[in-house]
Structure 1
Amino acid sequence: MSTENIKQYTTEQAPAGYWIDAKGVLTPEHLIKPIDKLRDQLVGEIVERAISLNTALSEFKLAGFGDIAAFVDLSANDYGVNVGGKKGNVTLHTFDGRFKMQRAMQDRIAFDERIQAAKALIDACLADWTESARPEIKVIVSEAFATDKEGKINTQRVLGLRRYDIDDERWLRAMDAISEGVQVVGSRSYIRVYQRVGDSDQYQAIPLDIAGV
C-alpha cells in the first residue's frame, strides 16, 4: 500500500515535507516508516468519526431533554398546572407499547467530614467485638470504607451499613453520622430507550454507549 499521499493528522504547523512528533520535533517525511504513517492515519480517521458521534450524541441528548420537558408540560397543561423544567424521572411509551423511553435523573452524593467520625465509632465497636463479632461483619465494614483508585469511598456500600440491626450506642451514633453527613454534590441526567422483546412484557435497552453496542 502506497503511503506517499498520506497527510499527517495534526493541528500543529509543520514545514512541507516534515512531520511533527509528540515532543514537537520535526522529522523529514521520507525518514518516517510506512507503518508509522498508516498508524497515524488509522488513529486520526477513527478519532474524527468518534468526535462526530460524540457531537451527535450530545445534540441528541440536548434535543431529547428539551422535547420530553415540553411534552411533560403539554400533558400537565391539560390539568391546569405547569411543572416546568427537567424535574424527576418519567417513562413514556409508544401507543402500541413496542418502544419506551425514560428520562432518568440521578443525584451524585458524597460524604462530608462526619464520615470520619462514623468510621472512628465503627472501629471502636469492632475493637470491642474482636472475639464475638462475626468475620463477615468485619469484611463488610472494611469493604464499605475502602477507597477506589481516586481515593473515593463507595457511597452505596457505606449507606448499606444502616441495614444492619446492631444495638450498640456507638454503632447507632455512627449510623446517624453517616445519614447526616450525606451531601448531594450534583446530578446526572440520562435518556434511556428500550424496545419490547417480542410479544412479552420485557424490554431490552437500545445501547447508546460504545461498550454496550
Structure 2
Amino acid sequence: MSNETNIPEGYMRNATGHLVPTDKVREQDRLRDEVTRRLVLRALQISKELADFKKQALAEIEDLIQIAADRYEVTIGGKKGNVSLASYDGRYKIVRSIADRITFGEELEAAKTLINRCIDRWSEGANDNIRALVDRAFRTDTKGQIKTAAVLELLRLDIDDAEWRRAMEAIKDSIQTTGSAVYVRVYERVGESEQYRAISLDLASV
C-alpha cells in the first residue's frame, strides 16, 4: 500500500492504475473500498501479532530448555525435538513441534511407472480402487506440488509383489528433506477432564 501516498487528495486509483476523482466513483464502490482496506489493515496487524507471538514463544521455550540444561550440567545439541510445557495446575499446555519438510526426487517418476505396470498386470476388480489411490497420490496441488501425505500413504499398503516392492523402494529413495518447519500449538483443558482442546490460531477454525 506504499504507492498510495502518491494519490492526490480527492482522487482514487482504480485497478488499472488510473486516477479517478472521488466524486466520480460510485458510492457502492467507495464503500467496498473502505471495508476492504479496513479489514486488510486489521489482518496485517493480526498477522504481525501472530509472528511476534511465535517468535516470543519459541525464544522463551528455548530459554526454558537451556535453564534445564544448565541446572543438570548437560549440553543439549541441535534444535530438533518436540517440547510440551504445562501450567502448574495443568489447565494450559503449549507444544513446540518440529517437522521435516519433505520433497521427492526423480526416483518418484520411476516409482509411478512401476506402480502402473503392477496395476496393468494385476487382474481387474478391487485393483480399480488401488489405481484411484495411486492417481490421487501423484496428483499435484494448485501450486504444482506432489501431495506428500498421499504418496507416503502408498508405503503403508502391504502388497506382496516384487515389482510393487521395487516401486516402494523407489519412493523411499526419492524422499528428500529440504528443511524443517516449527509449530507452536496452544491447548486448554476441557473442564476437569484429561482432554485438551486447541486454542485456535487459524482463521478458518475460530
- The verdict on a shared fold, with TM-score over 0.5 as the criterion, is yes
2:119 to 113, 126, 130: 126
Q: Contact between 1:121 and 1:171, CA under 8 Å: does it hold in 2? A: yes
Gaps of 5+ in 2: none
Aligned twin of 1:160: 153
SS of the residue corresponding to residue 212 of structure 1 reads coil
Shift of 1:10: 6.7
8 Å CA contact 1:69–1:84 kept in 2: the answer is: no
Which segment is superposed worse, 141-150 or 43-52? 141-150
Q: For 1:181 and 1:79, how far apart are their aligned partners in 2? A: 41
Q: How big is the shift at 1:187?
A: 1.7
Whole-angstrom distance in 1 between the partners of 2:144 and 2:196: 37
Mean Cα deviation higher: 156-165 or 89-98 = 156-165
CA separation in 2, counterparts of 1:132 and 1:11? 62
CA distance in 1, matches of 2:38, 2:124: 63
For 1:37 and 1:164, locate their aligned partners in 2 and report how far apart those are by CA, in whole Å: 57
1:74 to 67, 73, 88: 67
Secondary structure at the residue paired with 2:12?
strand
Name the residue aligned to 1:172: 165
Equivalent residue letter for 1:165: D
Partner of 2:16: 23
Q: Which residue of 1 aligns with 2:181?
A: 188
Whether 2:101 is the aligned partner of 1:115: answer no
1-structure distance, mates of 2:115, 2:144: 20
Shift of 1:12: 4.3
Matches within 5 A, 1:36-115: 36-83=29-76, 86-115=79-108
Give the number of aligned pairs: 205
Q: Any idea what the Cα deviations from partners look like across 1:101-154, whole Å, max 9, x if unmatched?
A: 000112111110000011111111111114476332222222222222222222
Residues 137, 147 of structure 2: 8 Å contact kept:
yes
d(CA) in 2 for partners of 1:33, 1:163? 59
Give the secondary-structure state (helix, strand or coil) at the position aligned to 1:211.
coil
Q: Which moves more between the two structures, 141-150 or 173-182?
A: 141-150
Calculate the TM-score normalised by the size of structure 1.
0.88
Tell me whether 162-171 or 176-185 shows the greater mean CA deviation: 162-171
Which secondary structure state, in structure 2, belongs to the residue aligned with residue 23 of structure 1?
coil
Residues 158, 15 of structure 1: alpha-carbon distance in 2 compared, 3 angstrom cutoff: closer
Q: Contact (CA 8 Å) 2:83, 2:97: kept in 1 or not?
A: yes
CA distance 1:30–1:118, shift in 2 (3 Å): same
2:155 counterpart SS class? helix
Q: Identity over the aligned pairs, expressed in percent?
A: 44
* Cα contact 1:73–1:84 (8 A) shared by 2: no
Residues 16-51 of structure 1, C-alpha deviation per residue, up to 9 Å, x if partnerless?
322221222121222122222222211111111111
Q: Distance in 2 between matches of 1:20 and 1:162?
A: 54
CA-based RMSD of the aligned residues comes to 1.9
- Does structure 2 conserve the Cα–Cα contact (< 8 Å) formed by 1:12 and 1:20? no
